[in-house]
Amino acid sequence: MIFRFLIYCLIFTSFLTSQWISFDLSKADAATFDKQVEPTIISSVLTGGRSTLLNLTPNQRLGIAVSMPIGWDIAKTSYQLNPFIHPFMVEGQFLITENLVLKGKMNMFSNGEESVQVAGYGCNYFANSWFSSVSIGWLEGPKHLRVRFVDTTVTMKRALFNMPAFFGAGFNKYRGNILGLNSDELPGKIENSISYLIAGTELQFSGIDIELQTQIHFKFVQFNVTIFRLFF
């Protein structure tokens, strides 16, 4: 109960002291442009690449999940302050065969100056206590940035202190195209890859199914709170 209370306090405090993630790359210093922009790209690809571990069955083939990602730039190199908060991400999953799931996800929001969309699709494969995922996605809308990425993960489920827990690792390859800044000093694109660890758990609160998942990279940590429901 104490752990859950601390999680809810963390989320509530983050909302009070922050705003939506900013894609205004004109705030970045030209001398350290790559380092200042990369946390924004990493947060976006972790948001789009992450997959909820839904326990779909032949009796419940459809799953709908709504998640809120909250990220922190550990290296503190970004042009924007911590935390990085994305609007709600909606994800749908459908069980095709006994072990194969097709999925899609997206969000869309406006920060008052531009409309931003993060979206993607992919598949999950699960067997007994392990789970693998492949996602392809993109970020569209910001006047200074377009992002494409491919994300893969392998995750194992275990019981830890009588609680469901999962641990895994992920790899994300991304390319961010820089637009509209009109400076010869700035790169036309930022292309890189990251490896990260995954840890999380599932719980029920007042009859609501909740997944808590953390994606851990040595430069960036992202925490995801997801509410989900299974159907049919």
Question: Where are the domains positioned within the chain?
Answer: 2-231
Residue 197 has pLDDT above 90, yes or no: yes
pLDDT one-digit tens code per residue, 28-49: 998 899 999 999 999 999 999 9
- Look at 98 and 10; give whichever has higher pLDDT: 98
* Band of pLDDT at residue 163, cut at 50, 70 and 90: confident
The pair of three-digit structure tokens given for residue 162, joined into one six-digit string: 């009588």
Q: Quick one: what percent of the chain has pLDDT higher than 90?
A: 56
Taking residues 203-223, report their average pLDDT: 90
Among the ranges given (64-78, 97-111, 184-198), the one the predictor scored with the smallest mean pLDDT: 97-111
Q: Quick one: what percent of the chain has pLDDT higher than 70?
A: 91
Residue 3 has pLDDT above 50, yes or no: no
pLDDT one-digit tens code per residue, 107-139: 877 766 778 889 999 999 988 788 999 999 999
pLDDT at 111: 65
Taking residues 5-25, report their average pLDDT: 58
Residue 2 has pLDDT above 50, yes or no: no
What is the residue whose two structure tokens read 């072990």?
Answer: 99
pLDDT at 19: 64
Residue 25: closest CA among 138, 148, 183, 150: 183
pLDDT at 100: 94
pLDDT at 17: 42
pTM comes to: 0.88
153 within 8 A of 51, measured Cβ to Cβ:
yes
pLDDT at 112: 67
Among the ranges given (69-78, 131-140, 159-168), the one the predictor scored with the smallest mean pLDDT: 159-168
* Band of pLDDT at residue 12, cut at 50, 70 and 90: very low
pLDDT averaged over every residue in the chain: 87
Taking residues 15-24, report their average pLDDT: 67
